[in-house]
Structure 1
Amino acid sequence: MKSYLKINPNDNVAIAVKDLEKGKQIEEFGLELKEDIKRGHKFAIKNINKGEDIIKYGMPIGHALENIEEGSWVHVHNLKTNLSDIIEYEYDKKDLNLANELKDDELKFMGYLREDGRAGIRNEVWVVPGVGCINQTCNNLVNMARQKYPDVSFQSITHTHGCSQLGDDLEMTREILAGLIKNPNAAGVLVVSLGCENNIIDEFKEYIKPFNEKRVKFLTVQEVEDEYEEGLSLIDELVEYRNLFKREALPISKLTVGFKCGGSDGFSGITANPLCGYTSDKLVENGAITMLTEVPEMFGAEKLLMNRAKDEETFEDIVSMINNFKEYFKSHGQNIYENPSPGNKDGGISTLEDKSLGCIQKGGSSEVVDVLALGEQSHVKGLNLLNGPGNDQVSSTNLAASGCSLIVFTTGRGNPFGSIVPTVKMSTNTELANKKTNWIDFDAGRIISEDLSFEKLRDEFIEYLLEVASGKETNNEKYGFREISIFKDGVTL
């Protein structure tokens, strides 16, 4: 295994695959390291002048703040973003032709075909509070239901919203909760209302429509004498409806898979995220829906996505999504491009361009076919972009609310979080996979540690995803990490 990696022939930096000591000879580039280089961090492979672009992934990730000698560490101390404010875009459509060998009619999974034609990969009953102050009521109902029906999976979708919200903020909560209720992994849903909250049940129903009354039931706890007795009676009906569905062989085109990253490191854009891209391309070529979100982590790489838009209307939708999110930053007096977290930087990511160019690789090379608003359901087969922030819990919730039955979550530093749908944790490095076996489901670090091709590991990973879609539990399911977090932007009364 090599101790460093140059990603693109045009790059003027390389990445340390393991900790490298000062004085190490890098014969390929005819240089000696001027200082210690941590794993995942960059070093100059040629002299770089002050003001000159730093090139990684074949693209600028910022410019040099000073003259940088070959063999020197390149990071936040001598590298600064090139990005500033809102910019104008022009549509420059690229011709995209994926290889025909990606087609595979044999790719199937054992899922649950719903009445609306979508497919769930779980057959669960969800209890959804319309407001956070009855979270424990919903938890109690679920615990009672589990005792009564030990062979049925129940989930309480608790949150802290639904009251003391106004305008667009309340609208957003309703859209996300309604989207979650529509997720095909839920065979039946009990919506529980307190009765006096802003998200009052009669108004909330309008966001869920059209719905099957056998699949979605409603309970207002202030209106009944015993909410547990009434709730369990409604759950009885939901379980009866849920039991009508049986696993059956379905084509991979019935899958909707979301991709996101969190706790990224210097390997995210080298191993796990590109592997997701290879996977997304194959899923798309076989008729599935894939979804990419985390809009602030597209900044600096957005033109690459815009030029893959299927038409000019889709291009304009991407432009609006990007610029509206930038305006959101500005409206709160925040720097648009100050994104990489302390953990990102410690792992080797220096600027937003550095992070974004690695992040968007999860979208592969496919055409962008649609742009979705928060809570909007995906209907167009192919790669979809979903509006929303990069926060792990919020973006995963958004993916589930837009119809993803499965989420692939890449991480280099590790994160145990899991969404309400199966959340496959993919490590960017083998060390993390070996260290956190109760977090990590799949090791993309094998691209480096075992020198595997992306194509080989992609096909292995798709087989694993089909096992998950057919019932194999992910670590987040085994250990009960089933959470949501709703994006909030407004006054709390």
Structure 2
Amino acid sequence: MKAIYKINPKDNVVVALQDLKKGENIPADGKTITLNANIAAGHKIAIANIPEGECIVKYGFPIGTAACNIAAGDWVHTHNTKTRLGDLLDYSYEPSFKPLEPQTPRTFLGYKRKDGKVGIRNEVWIIPTVGCVNSIAKLIEEESQKFLTPELDGIYSYSHPYGCSQLSQDKRNTELALSGLIHHPNAGAVLVLGLGCENSNIDELKKVLGDYDSDRVKFLVCQEHEDEVEDAVKIVEELCRYASQFKREPCSVEHLTIGLKCGGSDGFSGITANPLVGALPDLLIAQGGTAILTEVPEMFGAETILMNRCRSKEVFDKTVDLINNFKKYFMRYNEKIDSNPSPGNKAGGITTLEDKSLGCVQKGGTAPVNDVLRYGQSVHENGLNLLQAPGNDLVASTALAVSGAHMVLFTTGRGTPFGCPVPTVKISSNSELARKKARWIDFDAGKLLTGTELSELAQELLDYVINVASGKQTTKSEAFDKRELAIFKDGVTL
């Protein structure tokens, strides 16, 4: 394996692919660079002198400026780099993209629902309106396992701490999130479990939920039943019979929606896992499918790349609002816009938010941006969509599921076992993580560092995704039964 990797010809830094020692000589741009410090794998090395105040360039774009004079061979990281991010910006629409070449759609084995949607799992879900009934929902789940049939992929309850003592947008976010899950096609049937006195009670939730199939969705208010568990279990039995009528059948990938997310990124994420995942939505969208990219704070510093791929001025304006409104959210709390990256990111070699963002947005591939979604809004445009949600792994992944993602492709350089309400595919940026955490990682993008071509590995990943969608494989998070439900909160709790 090579010792270093230069991502873009314009770059004045390279990434160490392995631990390197002070005094080692490395070839770069036709010359030999002597290392002035020990350099950990994933971290950056200057390959030219960078005077104080000059841009440090990676991915072909500035990731910050030199906080002091940096010599060729120096370690480039937080000690000598300053972010260039500021406050709100004005943007101009300078479209620069070309539509993907259409391809013949592949098929997967999915569940065709009566409302025209397609699911990749046939599960029965128990969804509480309020955290007060979480333990009851879990008990109902446990007592209902006897109703499983070969046609069902599982009976699951979801817990969350919200649904009461919430005001304004927080209350609505909870209702939007729960409504999105109730309508999700991976659920063949749903029991909505209320307490009765919460401010996001079932009657309030129905105002946001809209039309629903009364055979598929049932409701129970615990305070209205003498034995709520016994009565709820009877309803779940009925819902299991309803959901068991569905069978897997061939469906075009035009009906497949994938969510794109990264977490615990390292210096390899922008070289391997994120570009690999970016190749996947390009393949899927060329076949008529859909992808959703979120983590708005991790677009800061790379937002113009996405803005210039917007298919119209209208979508561009929505993207500008997406970025600036999220910056205003930070500013309302007197938080710095560049509060990212995390300690783990920095330990892995990511220095500034621009550094992180330029790696992060690669998950969106090269497709035009077709639409921008508010938090809790269902996807209705095929192609690439941007979604309003934070960078937090659990909140963002849940938001992707709420908006209709059938599964989430989750890249990571440091590893995490979590899963959201839909299958969560963990893709490692390096092979060492895939080996060390084999019970967490589903797919190894580190192969790109040892000679595997991106196009070859992207086709392999597409095959894997179609197998997961068809039920031929389950993700590691499903095997762990990791199905966290995290709702975006911003405001007062009564």
**Fold conserved between structures, TM > 0.5:** yes
1:79-478 equivalence runs, <5 A: 79-98=81-100, 100=101, 103-105=103-105, 107-149=106-148, 151=150, 152=152, 153-449=154-450, 451-471=451-471, 472-478=473-479
Q: 1:147 corresponds to which letter in structure 2?
A: K
Contact residue 214 and residue 237 of structure 1 kept, 8 A: no
Match of 1:41 in 2: 43
Q: Distance in 1 between matches of 2:123 and 2:245?
A: 12
SS at match of 2:250: strand
Match of 1:492 in 2: 493
Q: What are the ranges of 5 or more consecutive residues in structure 1 without an aligned counterpart?
A: none
Q: Distance in 1 between matches of 2:274 and 2:45?
A: 21
Q: Distance in 2 between matches of 1:43 and 1:130?
A: 51
Q: Distance in 2 between matches of 1:149 and 1:463?
A: 29
Q: What are the ranges of 5 or more consecutive residues in structure 2 without an aligned counterpart?
A: none
Q: Distance in 2 between matches of 1:96 and 1:194?
A: 52
- C-alpha displacement of 1:149: 2.7
Q: 1:68 corresponds to which letter in structure 2?
A: I
Contact residue 269 and residue 359 of structure 1 kept, 8 A: yes
Q: Distance in 2 between matches of 1:79 and 1:104?
A: 47
- C-alpha displacement of 1:148: 3.6
Contact residue 256 and residue 289 of structure 1 kept, 8 A: yes
Match of 2:72 in 1: 70
Contact residue 267 and residue 412 of structure 1 kept, 8 A: yes
Q: Distance in 2 between matches of 1:16 and 1:132?
A: 47
Runs of 4+ in 1 over 2 A off after TM superposition: 147-152
Q: Distance in 2 between matches of 1:23 and 1:108?
A: 54
Q: Distance in 2 between matches of 1:289 and 1:115?
A: 21
For residues 145-202 of structure 1, give each alpha carbon's deviation from its aligned partner in whole angstroms, at most 9, with x where no partner exists. 0134365401111100001111111111111111111111001000000000011111
Contact residue 120 and residue 186 of structure 2 kept, 8 A: yes
Match of 1:2 in 2: 2
Q: Distance in 2 between matches of 1:60 and 1:149?
A: 55
SS at match of 1:461: helix
Of residues 61-70 and 148-157 in structure 1, the stretch that sits farther from structure 2 once superposed is 148-157
SS at match of 1:445: helix
Q: Distance in 1 between matches of 2:200 and 2:327?
A: 29
Q: 1:207 corresponds to which letter in structure 2?
A: V
Contact residue 112 and residue 247 of structure 1 kept, 8 A: yes
SS at match of 1:463: helix
SS at match of 2:397: helix
Q: 1:231 corresponds to which letter in structure 2?
A: A
SS at match of 2:236: helix
SS at match of 2:489: coil
Contact residue 430 and residue 444 of structure 1 kept, 8 A: yes
For residues 379-420 of structure 1, give each alpha carbon's deviation from its aligned partner in whole angstroms, at most 9, with x where no partner exists. 100000000100000000000000011100000000111111
Q: Distance in 1 between matches of 2:93 and 2:12?
A: 29
Q: 1:414 corresponds to which letter in structure 2?
A: G
Match of 1:26 in 2: 26
SS at match of 1:399: helix
Q: 1:310 corresponds to which letter in structure 2?
A: R
Aligned residues: 489
SS at match of 1:383: strand
For residues 102-148 of structure 1, give each alpha carbon's deviation from its aligned partner in whole angstroms, at most 9, with x where no partner exists. 7133x211110111222110000000000001001000000000134
Q: 1:78 corresponds to which letter in structure 2?
A: N
SS at match of 1:362: helix
Match of 1:50 in 2: 52
SS at match of 1:173: helix
Identity %: 52
Q: Distance in 1 between matches of 2:248 and 2:170?
A: 38
- C-alpha displacement of 1:326: 0.4
For residues 39-83 of structure 1, give each alpha carbon's deviation from its aligned partner in whole angstroms, at most 9, with x where no partner exists. 000000011111110000000000001111101100000011111
Contact residue 149 and residue 244 of structure 2 kept, 8 A: no
SS at match of 1:90: coil
Q: 1:47 corresponds to which letter in structure 2?
A: N
Q: Distance in 2 between matches of 1:475 and 1:378?
A: 26
Contact residue 307 and residue 319 of structure 2 kept, 8 A: yes
Q: Distance in 2 between matches of 1:26 and 1:459?
A: 33
Contact residue 99 and residue 368 of structure 2 kept, 8 A: no
Q: Distance in 2 between matches of 1:40 and 1:91?
A: 34
For residues 285-343 of structure 1, give each alpha carbon's deviation from its aligned partner in whole angstroms, at most 9, with x where no partner exists. 10111000000000000011011111011000001111110000000010011210000
